[in-house]
Amino acid sequence: MTGKPDRVDAVIIGAGASGAAAAKVLTERGLRVVALEKGPWRTKESFGGDELANVNRYNLWPDPILNPRTSRTSPEVAAEVDPFCPVPQMVGGGTVHWQGWLPRFTPNDFRLRTVAGDLAGTTLADWPITYEELEPYYDAVEWAFGVSGQAGANHFEGPRRRGYPCPPMPQSRYAEKFHDGCAKLGWNSFPTPQAALSQPFNGRPATVVSAFAQQHGDPTGTRSSALNVFIPDAVATGRYELRPESYVRELVLDDRGRIKAAVYEDAAGVMFEQEADVFLLACGAVETARLMLMSTSARFPGGLANGNDLVGRNVTFHEYSASVATFDDPIYAWAGGGYVSASSFQFYEHDASRGFVSGGHIAAAGVGIPLPINWGLPGKPTWGVEAKQVDRDYFNHSMAVAMVLHDMPQHDNRVDLDDTVVDAWGLPVARITLIPHENDLAQGRFLVDRCGEILEAAGGKDVTKVYAEKVTGNCSHQHGTARMGDDPDTSVTDRHCRTHEVDNLFIVDGSPFPTATGANPTLTIMANAWRVAEFIVTSKGNR
Amino acid sequence: MNIHATFFDNHQRATVEAAMARIIPSDDTPGAREARTVDFVDRYLSGIDYIYALPDGSGFEQLEGRRAAAWQQRVDLARSKYVAGIAELDRLCLEQHRAQFVHLDEHEQDEMLRRIERAGTPEAERAWRDTPAIAYGGPVEPALQQTNAEADMDFFNLLVTHTRQGFLADPIYGGNRDQLGWQVIGFPGPASLAEVHAGRYNTLDFFADNRVHRGQEDNHDRQA
Ligand SMILES: Cc1cc2nc3c(=O)[nH]c(=O)nc-3n(C[C@H](O)[C@H](O)[C@H](O)COP(=O)(O)OP(=O)(O)OC[C@H]3O[C@@H](n4cnc5c(N)ncnc54)[C@H](O)[C@@H]3O)c2cc1C
């Protein structure tokens, strides 16, 4: 038997960063919305300061036994099970256990193809929208979240209509070292804009600066996340019905080729068909592609809205890598969880003289997860007398300067369905096929070298460079699997993130991003979701 | 709640305790032995009743459904690795020294642990050949964002991982007794999970400047 709940205006699949942002906008503008979220709806009482549970035991991370993925470096070889690019699956999605570095993309990010020209082997493309078009929505998200930052401090940022709602977070010792190093080198640096409140804002108290932050849910509810901000806003409208533990398996079409319903399974294994006028995919770029590819029909035998075989292709993940150093004076990189940071866009913009395309965001951080269990210096022993000495000498005296790699989109880098591995619900899992482009490797080496220079200038010793030799998905950033563009032959969605082939299907996560850019994507993901949601409201009114 | 839940027999327990004491040795500061890391792993392997502490420290979560099944599978796998790993370690010790691991001196124990470590992976084997200094303990890639996949680890790496966890995890999991592990490395952790849960644990004292970010005074609201 299949349940048929009442039809609503909009169904949003996924209640993470983008799905929650869209829900806020749609419900506040009067639409009745059902959200279908695969994972649980956890409250702040269920979160705590427990490194073992959160970092090592998948308390929030997807359990790889239940939610495997597979990856391979070439279509010729068999894919291996690998928790590639995991993001928490629960209400709030990846924002539940982040610390939320929220830089804006720069104006050139939206036209990199024009700025840098053609790059052989890549599908580098301009975005169909501009920074100026997105700027109002950046502002909207920053003010809804209460982002803490310093306007004007990043000399490479585009124009902004006003400052940040909250001043920057207090300065950590690792941020101080970063500023020192950059100042000595003559490079611009700025306090990393953060999804946290440096002071009370909008009825919310200031954020508690714990060590258990990155990778931990927030027991105080004072960090800024989709769970703490957008979901309550949507609930407050009375027009938002959020159904957790509702796993969408397929979208089905009506006889006009529009989406009729989302088919989902609840916690008890009961199937439902939820009908609506419009459907928004917000599952994250990997799972959105997977769901589209699982939704086959006579009209779309190769997957939903995938007539041109681009769904899942051009996937980009960034990569997070770093230089690491030790210092004589204490850094306490666990203070604030290791990510109350300082940043530089000095090597962000494209510069042809460097011999590769584009660049990336550089920032201060703890070494890895700088908490007791998971801290460790690269290349150092992991056990024995010497290892214990390293722990004692450097746990409080080490830090990293890390970079976000702007990996290039390539046609053959893709997400598709694995032909053998299934998840705990019996559905085929996402398979990642990915070979880094030479540009990715060259850019990564360049940026990690600059990271090392900052550490050296700040007085760091024993600088160790960990180059990104492959893309492993360790950033938990995902983009590109349903790129937007004006040309239906070379893109999956139009500039409003509506699929070219199905006019009541929108995609609001990172899937429509034609390029990854070199910055953490989620501010832009949420701003874009806000933009698309407003378009849906407006165009609905016009129909 | 049975806080004394265990898995090992006496010999297995003694072997693991001795091996952990070489992984984090006791010197002028406490090591794995004093922090009771063997209690930590023994409890972990006892079943799935101690996987997640309740975040206020009042007990442990009762797992259900798919999560319980996944953890049962993971614990079963770890158990079989420990049982086989301990037996293999003893077999090698008997072959080499005519004595079980627990009866060797510290030097011999280190050497036997290094031997099973090298047997672990081709990379470890190769690294050992090329650069013995680094291979002592195996070259580590720093865990930058993702967690390690315990299911992929061999016995030796599991042992090292669990020793570190037992030394440095919140004491509620049975190790890190009296927060000895945290004291050794210099982490002023919370008095209890409840402190963090209630929002009383704050690390601003360890910031450079717990009031403002440099430069913020002059141009915070500057319009670009
Ligand atoms: C530890 C960590 C730190 C991070 N730090 C930063 C940072 O500092 N800055 C930054 O910009 N980004 C950061 N990120 C990345 C950020 O979390 C993601 O970019 C963001 O969450 C993506 O938003 P989304 O809406 O696309 O997807 P998500 O937030 O992943 O939400 C997708 C939701 O869809 C649900 N879902 C998936 N499939 C289905 C289905 N079939 N049916 C129903 N529901 C489904 C999932 O359960 C999930 O809840 C971090 C991520 C992690 C893991």
Mean pLDDT, rounded, for B210-220: 46
Question: Domain count of chain B?
Answer: 1
Say if B150 falls within a structural domain: yes
Mutate which of A67, A87, A147 for ligand 1? The one with the most ligand atoms within 8 Å of its CB, which is: A87
Give pLDDT, residue B3: 58
Estimate the crossing angle of helix B10-23 against helix B65-97, to 10 degrees. 80
Mutate which of B144, B145, B146, B147 for ligand 1? The one with the most ligand atoms within 8 Å of its CB, which is: B145
Taking only the tens place, the pLDDT of each residue in B79-128 is: 999 999 999 999 999 999 999 999 999 999 999 999 999 876 566 555 54
List all residues 6 or more positions away from B22 whose beta carbon is below 8 Å from its beta carbon. Answer: A383, A384, B106, B109, B110, B113
The CATH number linked to A37 is: 3.50.50.60
Q: How much is the CA Rg of chain B, to the nearest whole Å? A: 21
3-state DSSP assignment of residue B56: coil
Say if A1 falls within a structural domain: no
Q: Which domain holds residue B181?
A: 10-187
Q: Which domain holds residue A220?
A: 8-542
Question: Domain count of chain A?
Answer: 1
DSSP per-residue codes, A244-279: SS-EEEEEEE-TTSSEEEEEEE-TTS-EEEEEEEEE
3-state DSSP assignment of residue B65: helix
List all residues 6 or more positions away from A464 whose beta carbon is below 8 Å from its beta carbon. Answer: A323, A324, A325, A377, A378, A379
CB–CB contact B140 A378 (8 Å): yes
Nearest CA to ligand 1 atom 4: A98
Which stretches of chain A score pLDDT less than 50?
Answer: none
Say if B212 falls within a structural domain: no
Q: Above 70 in pLDDT, residue B141?
A: no
**Rounded-to-integer distance, Cα A509 and Cα A473, Å:** 17
3-state DSSP assignment of residue A183: helix
Contact (CB, 8 A) for A20 and A92: yes
Contact (CB, 8 A) for A105 and A99: no
pLDDT band at B151 (very low <50, low <70, confident <90, very high): confident
**Rounded-to-integer distance, Cα A403 and Cα A103, Å:** 13
Say if A347 falls within a structural domain: yes
**Rounded-to-integer distance, Cα A537 and Cα A514, Å:** 24
Q: Above 80 in pLDDT, residue B223?
A: no
CB–CB contact B150 A476 (8 Å): no
Say if B129 falls within a structural domain: yes
Give pLDDT, residue B211: 53
The more confident residue out of A451 and B223 is A451
Q: Comparing C-alpha atoms, which of A323, A303, A432 is closest to residue A368?
A: A323
Say if B39 falls within a structural domain: yes
Contact (CB, 8 A) for B61 and A57: no
Q: Above 80 in pLDDT, residue B130?
A: no
pLDDT band at B148 (very low <50, low <70, confident <90, very high): low
Pocket of ligand 1 (CB under 6 A): A 13-19, 36-39, 87, 89-90, 93-95, 97-101, 214-215, 247-248, 282-284, 287, 291, 476-477, 509-510, 520-522, 525; B 145
> What is the phi/psi pair of residue A498, to 5°?
-95, 135
Please tell me the distance between residue A424's alpha carbon and the centre of ligand 1 in angstroms: 20
**Residue of A57, A321, A381 lying closest to B137 (CB–CB):** A381
Say if B130 falls within a structural domain: yes
Residue A14 is encoded by which pair of tokens? 């996924």
Say if B73 falls within a structural domain: yes
Task: Note which residues in 26-85 of chain B have CB less than 8 A from chain A.
Answer: 27, 29, 31, 51-57, 65-67, 69-70, 73-74
Say if B81 falls within a structural domain: yes
Residue A297 is encoded by which pair of tokens? 């029909």
What CA dihedral angle connects A222, A225, A231 and A234, to 10 degrees? 100
What's the farthest any 2 CA atoms get from each other in chain A?
73
3-state DSSP assignment of residue A62: coil
Where does residue B15 rank: exposed (0-12), middle (13-18), buried (19+ CB within 10 A)? Answer: buried
Q: Above 70 in pLDDT, residue B208?
A: yes
**Rounded-to-integer distance, Cα B174 and Cα A172, Å:** 32
Residue type, A76: E
Give pLDDT, residue A303: 98
**Residue of A56, A168, A367 lying closest to B147 (CB–CB):** A56
Sign of the torsion angle spanned by Cα atoms A54, A58, A62, A68? positive
Please tell me the distance between residue A509's alpha carbon and the centre of ligand 1 in angstroms: 9
Contact (CB, 8 A) for A101 and A148: no
Q: Are strands A428-433 and A70-72 parallel, antiparallel or unpaired?
A: parallel
CB–CB contact B151 A396 (8 Å): no
Say if A3 falls within a structural domain: no
pTM: 0.95
Give pLDDT, residue B126: 58
Say if B203 falls within a structural domain: no
List all residues 6 or more positions away from A380 whose beta carbon is below 8 Å from its beta carbon. Answer: A386, A387, A390, B137, B140
**Chain A environment of B219 (Cβ under 8 Å):** 150-153
